């Protein structure tokens, strides 16, 4: 229990959800003098600042920093928070997440047990409405609630790469992340967009730098899933955009795969198989399989679109800049 942990939360105009997150962090079974909360406010126009100040005034709260980041984009907000975080470990969660009371203790224990460079925690859904009949657990990753299972697992290049860290529940040793840089702001979310890929790119950077990680099922958070995301159109849009983002990442981290028209041959096979599977599922009345196969084709279409047309639309930033932010002690 020697680590000092900085918990980083990026937020924008979600005061009610943020209050739940901050209350859960204040209730951690972890010494208050061994962690801080750094809230990066990405230009909120609601009462976010008041919510943070209210927490900071509580006698049971740890140290709280409030960083105002005017530049739009979650990645800019996180990068600004990194400049002010004081922890040996940097733990990340989101403003729509409620960590279990043992979350920080489990994070610290896993780092102490394994001496790894980064950690992936377990995320369980907090449904606002029951999931629809057409949605299978295979699609939970779209909602940032991937199921990693109940066993601790090692992660490194070529091993368990499906256990990818995402911002709702991950942690990195501070010297490692500062050496590698922050998040790529050209990949992070903007308000009203589904732009993705910043966590994926950081994961690839960690792996290709020879860093080892661990999946720790004891580090549990509950991720709120709003009912408005439980619609087919959300999944179609998200997966098309994610396909584009993965193709964009391959400009920096290329695959060694045989290609046809610039697309890996296995993706052509996957697309054909998924199309046939969607037809079969429609004939048999299997709504889950039908939708899963359709959106697989959509993901591949997004990948192909970026490979063929993406450079004409924009040039991805190769650098990993940090973002300036105004910091203040919340009081």
pLDDT in tens, 109-143: 999 999 999 999 999 999 999 999 999 999 999 99
CATH architecture of residue range(s) 5-230:
Alpha-Beta Complex (3.90)
Decide: 329 and 49 in contact? Cβ < 8 Å: no
- DSSP collapsed to 3 states, 252-282: CCCCCCCEECCEEHHHHHHHHHHHHHHHHHH
Q: What is the DSSP letter of 131?
A: P
Amino acid 184: pLDDT:
86
For the chain, list residues with pLDDT below 50: 315-329, 331
Handedness of CA 277, 283, 285, 287 (dihedral sign): positive
Domain boundaries, the chain: 5-230, 232-312
Say how far apart CA 312 and CA 196 lie, in whole Å: 19
Amino acid 152: pLDDT:
98
Amino acid 96: pLDDT:
97
Decide: 287 and 134 in contact? Cβ < 8 Å: yes
What angle is formed at CA 273 by the lines to CA 272 and CA 276, rounded to 5 degrees? 85
Q: What is the DSSP letter of 186?
A: T
Say how far apart CA 116 and CA 107 lie, in whole Å: 11
**Between the CA of residue 196 and those of 32, 51, 185, 218, 272, what are the distances in Å?**
33, 27, 10, 26, 26
Amino acid 35: pLDDT:
98
Decide: 121 and 206 in contact? Cβ < 8 Å: no
Residue 168's Cβ-count burial label (10 Å; 0-12, 13-18, 19+) is: buried
Amino acid 320: pLDDT:
44
Say how far apart CA 140 and CA 12 lie, in whole Å: 23
Amino acid 195: pLDDT:
58
Phi, psi of 295 (to 5 degrees): -75, -20
Decide: 23 and 97 in contact? Cβ < 8 Å: no
Amino acid 58: pLDDT:
95
Amino acid 180: pLDDT:
93
What angle is formed at CA 12 by the lines to CA 10 and CA 16, rounded to 5 degrees? 100
Q: Which residues pair with 326 in a beta bridge?
A: 68
Amino acid 124: pLDDT:
97
Q: Which of 303, 123, 144, 129 is nearest to 235 (CA)?
A: 144
């Amino acid at each position: 229990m020697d680590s000092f942990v900085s918990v980083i939360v990026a937020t924008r105009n979600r005061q009610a959800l943020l209050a739940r997150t901050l209350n859960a962090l204040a209730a951690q079974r972890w010494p208050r003098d061994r962690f801080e909360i750094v809230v990066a406010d990405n230009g909120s126009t609601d009462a976010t600042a008041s919510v943070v100040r209210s927490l900071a005034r509580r006698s049971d709260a740890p140290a709280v920093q409030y960083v105002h980041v005017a530049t739009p984009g979650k990645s800019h907000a996180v990068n600004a928070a990194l400049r002010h975080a004081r922890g040996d470990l940097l733990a990340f969660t989101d403003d729509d997440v409620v960590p279990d009371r043992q979350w920080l203790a489990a994070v610290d224990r896993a780092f102490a047990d394994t001496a790894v460079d980064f950690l992936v925690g377990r995320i369980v859904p907090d449904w606002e409405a029951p999931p629809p009949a057409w949605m299978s657990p295979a699609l939970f990753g779209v909602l940032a609630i991937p199921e990693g299972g109940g066993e601790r697992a090692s992660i490194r290049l070529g091993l368990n790469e499906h256990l990818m860290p995402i911002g709702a529940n991950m942690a990195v040793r501070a010297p490692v992340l500062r050496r590698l840089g922050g998040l790529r702001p050209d990949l992070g979310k903007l308000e009203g967009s589904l732009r993705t890929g910043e966590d994926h790119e950081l994961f690839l950077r960690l792996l290709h730098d020879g860093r080892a990680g661990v999946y720790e099922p004891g580090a549990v958070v509950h991720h709120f899933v709003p009912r408005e995301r439980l619609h087919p159109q959300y999944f179609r849009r998200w997966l098309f955009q994610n396909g584009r983002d993965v193709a964009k990442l391959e400009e920096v981290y290329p695959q060694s795969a045989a290609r046809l028209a610039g697309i890996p041959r296995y993706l052509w096979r996957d697309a054909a198989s998924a199309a046939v599977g969607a037809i079969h599922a429609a004939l048999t009345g299997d709504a889950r399989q039908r939708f899963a196969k359709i959106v697989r084709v959509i993901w591949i279409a997004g990948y192909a679109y970026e490979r063929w047309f993406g450079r004409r639309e924009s040039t991805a930033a190769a650098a990993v800049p940090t973002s300036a932010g105004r910091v203040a002690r919340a009081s």
